[in-house]
Amino acid sequence: MTPYDKREGKIWYNNELVNWDNVKLHVLSHGLHYASCVFEGLRVYDGEIFKLEEHTQRLFHSAKRMDIKIPYSEEEINQATKKIVSVQNVQNGYIRPFVWRGSEMMAVSAQKTKIHVAITTWEWGTYFDPKLKNEGIKLNISKWRRPAPNTIPWDTKASGLYMICTLSKHEAERDGYTDSLMLDHEGNIAEATGANIFF
């Protein structure tokens, strides 16, 4: 598989289409050190973006909860998303818009950091191996719990919330499972590490 930093095409980056391998992020970006980054994950089916407006609304909600003001309107982000999907000619794939604080300040306080926005997309099949659709997936139960609502902005799609998902997924795969079932702070079923659960 081609590493994600070696792919071809364009990325929408701060309102410009930049060559995939020319997009740069400084190592002292606040988003990297302090998890001041929010994102979305959208799907494209047969060239159509699934629930674009709802995902963009959630991106803006997450940013507001993280005290980040996105320097574009929701409509501008929607149009930019459609544009990059068209430029990349993605028919069945994934879209990742994300917003993060830049490198102007290196401290917990970050009011003077520049807010960056990027949108990238690529062809990508189903999240789990397609043969598992009929066989089902094996889940362990993670030792990590989703945080309580009074400990973190739990209703955001923020990078810091995924640290325990990575730990849980790695442990599950090491032990022969497909994924890990995450419980909430009260012991109720919450989600898998990167997928929702519906009853």
Catalytic residues: 157
At residue 135, what is the residue type? E
Structure tokens at 23: 């997009």
φ, ψ for residue 84 (rounded to 5)? -70, -35
Q: Sign of dihedral through CA atoms 108, 37, 74, 20?
A: positive
* Cβ atoms of 156 and 61 closer than 8 Å: yes
Torsion of CA 184, 190, 193, 196, to 10 degrees: -160
